[in-house]
Amino acid sequence: MKPKIISQNGKKRTIQFEFEIGSSMLENEKKFQEVLNEVGVLASGEILAQFDTDGEPIVFGGTTMTSKGQVECAYQTPYGEVNVARHVYQSSKGGKTYCPLENSARIIGSATPFFAKQISSKYADFGALRVAKDLIENHGRQVAKGYVQNVADIVGSIALEKEEEWTYKTPAQEVPVSTVSIGIDGTCMLTVEDGWRQAMVGTVALYSAAGERLHTIYVGATPEYGKDTFLERMQREVDNTRSLFPEAIFVAVADGAKDNWPFLKRNSDRQCLDFFHATEYLTKAADAAFYKDKLKRNQWLEDACHRLKHNKSGPTALINEMELFKNKHIGEERKSALDAAITYFKNQKKLMKYAEHVEESLPIGSGVTEAACKVIVKQRLCNSGMRWKEQGAATVLSLRTLNYSEGRWNQFWQKIDVRGFQLAA
């Protein structure tokens, strides 16, 4: 028996359905999902009808519009396709039509808002083909790959368009925020027009006084020419975070890329070169100086890393030691490696105040930003065979940064729900 409405009272509906219990739990669950989807389709049709008008003239955008009558339209819901007859309006002068139901119900394309949310959330993590497969296998919903792409593109375009306008609340923390670390980095992705280009990723991370990371905000931008758009987004996030936590110490942590430091320095109270980038040069120095003795190489490297991290005079002492290593008979190639390490340490010594940072439980590593490059960009945009156009990549990054910044995804949809999709668009 198909689900049916057996009573209604105002806005209340009672739906009756039945199902037969079989011997396999797996098959029972599949059948029950099918029944529940049928119930959902029936209920969704009733709900959507409540958003329609009574057919009387309306004023929209300062123009009086009259109904052309009720026209049936198919809407896609999480449970299945629903056909609803609704009023479509047009002015006496003709031109573009307007459907009040679609605005009031927050229809996106032809998808109900919750279905659009499901699709775009999945698309943030997977390609359209895999999303379509997931929907049919795990939700009993069959939609075309192109439909997934279209809905995700619409949602992503709104997220991208409102990036400069909409602000999001930072979740309340159980412990006080003592430190805010900011970092920016670039990672390559393959584009249709220009081959391999650099996408930008930024993080604003909140820390407790004990050095525990509490929350991270992610910012991303596609390989545009120049970094202006990305840096504007980062600046908004940093400014907003500083207004929320004016007493916090802002620490910039990044690698030695010169292009990133002007922004980081003017937006931070303290600066720190990523500790692990520094240790990579110590590793090269150890390989050059003790290339014949693995034991001594490992012992010196371990001790050098400890001193760099915990001794305030560590960077200067290590520069002097590496200078002495050059007196050994190690060959020109290894001397060149030592020279590179020495030059790096001399150039970056002012940013190597690791001991002070460790004492104050301040971050010394840019791992959160480097991980963001992988999570936000690489895992989604750099799979085998992928090449992206600028707009497509931009919408995906917008969806991913909203999804991975805790609390923002639901806030984004709350804004859609309050403002309406058409107004947002």
- Predicted local distance difference test score (pLDDT) of residue 226: 61
Q: List Cβ neighbours of 385 (8 Å cut-off, separation of 6 or more).
A: none
* Burial category of 69 from C-beta neighbours within 10 Å (exposed 0-12, middle 13-18, buried 19 and up): exposed
**DSSP H helices in 245-330:** 261-266, 275-289, 294-310, 314-325
- Angle at Cα 358 formed by Cα 352 and Cα 359, nearest 5°? 120
**119-144 per-position pLDDT tens digit:** 999 999 999 999 999 999 999 999 99
DSSP 63: E
**270-329 per-position pLDDT tens digit:** 999 999 999 999 999 999 999 888 999 999 999 999 999 999 999 999 999 999 998 877
Distance (Å) of CA 299 to CA 279, 292, 302, 305: 14, 13, 5, 10
- Residue recorded with tokens 């609340």: 169
- Residue recorded with tokens 């430091």: 261
Q: pTM for the complete prediction?
A: 0.89
- Distance, CA of 271 to CA of 252 (rounded, Å): 5
Q: Angle formed by the axes of helices 331-348 and 314-325, to 10°?
A: 160
Give percent of the chain above pLDDT 70.
Answer: 98
* Burial category of 28 from C-beta neighbours within 10 Å (exposed 0-12, middle 13-18, buried 19 and up): middle
Q: Find how far residue 300's CA is from the centre of its chain.
A: 41
Domain map of the chain by residue range?
A: 23-105, 118-169+408-425, 179-270+389-406, 275-356
What pairing do the DSSP bridges indicate for beta strands 249-254 and 270-273?
Answer: parallel
- Distance, CA of 155 to CA of 318 (rounded, Å): 53
- Distance, CA of 365 to CA of 369 (rounded, Å): 9
**74-105 per-position pLDDT tens digit:** 999 999 999 999 999 999 999 989 999 999 99
- Distance, CA of 87 to CA of 247 (rounded, Å): 55
- Predicted local distance difference test score (pLDDT) of residue 425: 43
